[in-house]
Amino acid sequence: MKKEREKFVCQECGYVSFRWLGKCPSCGSWNSLVEEKDFPQLKGYKNKPSYKPLVEWYQENLVRKSTGFEKLDTAIGGGLVPGQVLLLAGEPGIGKSTLLLQLSDRYANAYGQVLYVSGEESGSQISIRGERIGISGKNLLVLPETRLEVLMDVIESVNPVLLVVDSVQTLYSESISSSPGSVSQVRECAFRISELCKSKNIPVFLVGQITKEGLIAGPKVLEHLVDTVLYFEGERFNFYRIVKVVKNRFGSSGEVAVFRMLDRGLEEVPEPSAFFLQERVNSSPGSVVFPYTEGSKPVLVEVQALTIQALYTTPQRRAQGYDLNRLSIILAVLEKECKIFTRDRDVFVNVVGGMQIKEPAADLAVALAVASSLKDKPTGDLVAFGEIGLAGEVRAIHFADIRLKEATKFGFKRAVLPKSVSVNLDGIEVVGVSHIKDAIELILSG
């Protein structure tokens, strides 16, 4: 009989060591290696492999089905694809279960039986929420279960049109000795569910828990395994939630869908740009509108900056929704190239609405907002976008045309953008700048 070999697996990154280590050599996490035993190899499905020329695969049309939320359909590429595996991650209490319960009910009413698996709540708890938000529940089957083998048997017998697992970290396989939520359990459970549902063309929603750093808990292979990764963002004590598509094999990433949290559940916001700008004050210094885009549709967001006299020797630098390191670079460029000094002032930057902006195209909007707040002069009704280099040059960015079309749609009359970008559009004045100093002089003198 072969002796079981013990191993230690990092619960943060999945690194495997055959002896215990205090610090993971791969990700640097402390006390993250947990002892796990090797488990027997599981027999896979004996399906006959299907292969044919790529040109024949072109002829197969993927029929997408609506989730029941129009904007969510648009964000994920037009609806759910048969066999698609989606991972929805977000903070506790943000509304993941509520969203998926509403989605499951609408999908069940349109296409047939939906299997909702909950490892965190009992059936009575789910029924209380369902009754509160008006779920009919006619074709919605609820399975409070954490054992993977039981779940696989139910999927085989029910053959649902949609599967929802809340959450994947609560499932465990009896063939693995480690506890639920460990790297081995999460990897094995996600793989076997994905393999079975893809063979049956059943779309799957997996709910993923996140760590205190805001990353999806479990091994990184979990994100590689699924087809689509969705982040459910927003402040718990705010009415609005944002679903952001981080990865999508069946559409473009970077798309967003905005929801409003009400007593009866989540409600879609039809026009995200209008939502982010609804309370903006045009005459307020330190406010600049930035056309944000990572996907196919831009969203207008308000970038706010506030500069005040520093109370302490070391001035504060705070950013909400924007990279703090990037802000430090912009402040340094403003000081050297434009003689705008903030070394004795606290600087705060906020992206209104809870949006997290990572693209460098927001540099110009942030710089203008800081200068506007420092000089106490409003920028007016304009949009701005462009990347700022260390020498102060304003570099070209992508999707300039669709950004301007979105700005024109909401009545903006002037746009400041890189001079190297050639865009002509009726209804809006396009001002090209090659250096940050030109943009600052234009705004402050206008």
Angle value at C-alpha 411, between 273 and 353, nearest 5 degrees? 25
Angular region, 93: left φ>0, alpha ψ -120 to 50, beta rest: left
Beta bridge partners of 416: 384, 431
* Highest-confidence segment of 32-41, 95-104, 227-236: 95-104
Distance CA 325, CA 297 (A): 27
- State residue 324's pLDDT score: 95
Average pLDDT over residues 388-401: 92
Find the radius of gyration of the CA atoms of the chain.
25
Could you report the per-residue pLDDT of 421-437, keeping only the tens digit for each?
877 778 888 999 999 99
The label of the residue with tokens 């280099």 reads 389
Q: How far apart, in whole angstroms, are the C-alpha atoms of residue 11 and residue 218?
A: 6
Per-residue pLDDT at 20 exceeds 70: yes
Q: Looking at per-residue confidence, does 278 or 365 come out higher?
A: 365
Place of tokens 């509160």: 132
Cα gap 284→132, rounded to integer Å: 41
The phi, psi pair for 291, rounded to 5°, reads: -80, 100
For the chain, give the mean pLDDT: 87
Could you please report the per-residue DSSP string of 82-106?
TT-EEEEEE-TTSSHHHHHHHHHHH
237 pLDDT band, cuts 50/70/90, is low
The band of 238, judged by pLDDT with boundaries at 50, 70 and 90, is: confident
Span 267-272, average pLDDT? 87
Q: Token pair of 249, please? A: 């094999």
* Tokens 């359909």, residue located: 73
Return the pLDDT at 230.
94
**Average pLDDT of the residues in 271-297:** 84
Q: Phi-psi category of 233—alpha, beta or left, where left has phi over 0 and alpha has psi -120 to 50?
A: beta
Task: Enumerate the β-bridge partners of residue 302.
Answer: 289
pLDDT in the model for residue 284: 87
Strands 256-262 and 240-248: antiparallel
Confidence class for position 234, pLDDT limits 50, 70, 90: confident
Output the pLDDT for position 35: 77
More confident residue, 33 or 78: 78
Please say whether the beta carbons of 145 and 164 come within 8 A.
Answer: no
pLDDT for 1: 44
Q: Are 207 and 186 in contact (CB under 8 A)?
A: no
Alpha-carbon distance of 412 to 434, in angstroms, equals 22
User: If you search the block for the tokens 């290696």, which residue do you land on?
Assistant: 33
| Angstrom distance (rounded) from CA 205 to CA 161 | 12
What's the pLDDT tens digit per position in 90-145?
888 889 999 999 999 999 999 999 999 999 899 999 999 999 999 988 899 999 99
Average of per-residue pLDDT across 330-343: 94
pLDDT of 102 = 95
Mean pLDDT of 380-394: 93
- Which residue, 197, 172, 187, 254, is CA-closest to 217? 187
Backbone torsions φ then ψ of 409, nearest 5 degrees: -60, -30
Q: Any idea what DSSP says for residue 180? A: T
Strand partners, 257: 243
- In this predicted structure, what is the pLDDT of residue 47? 56
